[in-house]
Amino acid sequence: MGKVRLGLIGMGMIGKLHAETMSKMKDLEFVAASDVEAKHQKTAEELRTKFYQSYEEMISKEKLDGVVVAVPNELHLPVGSACAKKGLHLLMEKPIAADLESADRLIQAAKENKVHLMVGHHRRHNPLIEELRNIVRGGKIGKLVGVTVLWALYKPKDYFQGPFTWRAAIGGGPIRINLIHEIDNIRYICGDVTRLYAEVSNEARQFPVEDTVSISLRLAGGAVANIFLTDTAPGNIGYEANTGENLFFYHSPETCYYYFGTEGMITFPQMKKFFYRDPGKAGWQFPLCEEGIKIDREDPYTRQIRNFCGVIQGSETPKIDGVDARKTLEVTLAIQKSGETGQPVVF
């Protein structure tokens, strides 16, 4: 089989990043890109790929193996289904779709047309997250006791202005946009969520959408987790700021996750393990040993496209398929619901 031939639909904020990533990868052919906005033609030219204003035209004219779909959420289902019908494998940006019903229909469309459906929860492709998963699942900190996740980054004023006023409306807030990544990370690293409760507030910004959320989760293995998230407090703790994965965000060397096990604790993204070496001297009055875990960093977006190519060629399975991504969406939406009803949600 020759090089995998890929197309891109949607060249906005994240689409552009995919375009740049694909144009740099030698083991694939970035055949064409499409956006309803003609201004994106320039980017296509710079990256030496063909440009279409109509994605329908692109997928019928070009011989493609798969497409990366990075259009707004409400269009995931129609665009994804149209591509599936053409027999194209799908890498859908997250969330899989705007709601659970659309997600089911998209999963069905992929199944009927025998195409792979992969979802762009790119953090799963970050070597730091993979290693954390191996540590937790491999029992390297014993039995998992609990997890704390902190995400407190300040979204600037212009984030909500001009064409982005939808971000102040219900559905445009940190639960659906940011928290979904945290939920997917927890699910990927620890396993499924069995019960949750959320307190949700919009009192600081007074927008219809939430700005602050406090969550308690129970996980399948019996561990519990906390998430605190706010986009309205000047702070420097949060995955984007701490991992340096995307340098748009100001980089701060703080810890955003603590993973607690019976045999040790991991701080993320420092990837330091803290533990008692001598069981005879284990307890709050004794010093803890500290050990660094060495990990080679690699760009998760590149690894994500590489996984997609592998999936198309039949040599790899998707890091996250449609059913898995639907579950992440389900848990995320349940947080919103718990906040509205004031009741816990059981899965």
Ligand X SMILES: NC(=O)c1ccc[n+]([C@@H]2O[C@H](COP(=O)([O-])OP(=O)(O)OC[C@H]3O[C@@H](n4cnc5c(N)ncnc54)[C@H](O)[C@@H]3O)[C@@H](O)[C@H]2O)c1
Binding site for ligand X (CB under 6 A): 9-15, 34-37, 55, 70-73, 75, 93-94, 120, 122
Which of another protein, ligand X, none does residue 93 bind to, with CB < 5 to 8 Å depending on kind?
Answer: ligand X
The rounded distance, in Å, linking the Cα atoms of 191 and 40 is 40
Residue 209 contacts another protein per CB under 8 A: no
The rounded distance, in Å, linking the Cα atoms of 120 and 90 is 10
Residue 207 contacts another protein per CB under 8 A: no
Listed ranges 50-58, 112-120, 146-154, 162-170: which one lies at the site for another protein (CB under 8 A): 146-154
The rounded distance, in Å, linking the Cα atoms of 9 and 56 is 10
Cβ neighbourhood burial of 157 (10 Å; 0-12, 13-18, 19+): exposed
The rounded distance, in Å, linking the Cα atoms of 95 and 106 is 12
Residue 252 contacts another protein per CB under 8 A: yes
Residue 81 C-alpha from the chain's centroid: 21
Listed ranges 181-189, 197-205, 303-311, 321-329: which one lies at the site for another protein (CB under 8 A): 197-205
The rounded distance, in Å, linking the Cα atoms of 285 and 21 is 50
Q: Name residue 302's amino acid.
A: T
Identify which of residues 162 and 283 has a Cβ nearer to another protein in the complex.
Answer: 283
Contact pick of 34, 81, 102, 230 for another protein (by CB under 8 A): 230
Identify which of residues 81 and 232 has a Cβ nearer to another protein in the complex.
Answer: 232
Residue 240 C-alpha from the chain's centroid: 11
Which of another protein, ligand X, none does residue 9 bind to, with CB < 5 to 8 Å depending on kind?
Answer: ligand X
Residue 224 contacts another protein per CB under 8 A: yes
* Residue 76: CA count within 13 A, CB half-sphere: 29
Q: Rounded to whole angstroms, what are the CA distances from 138 to 35, 117, 135, 282?
A: 44, 28, 5, 22
CB of 262 to another protein, least distance (A): 6
Interface contacts to another protein, rule CB under 8 A: 143, 145-146, 148, 150, 152-159, 195, 197-199, 201, 203-204, 211-218, 222-228, 230, 232-238, 240-241, 248-250, 252, 258, 260-265, 274-276, 282-288, 342-344
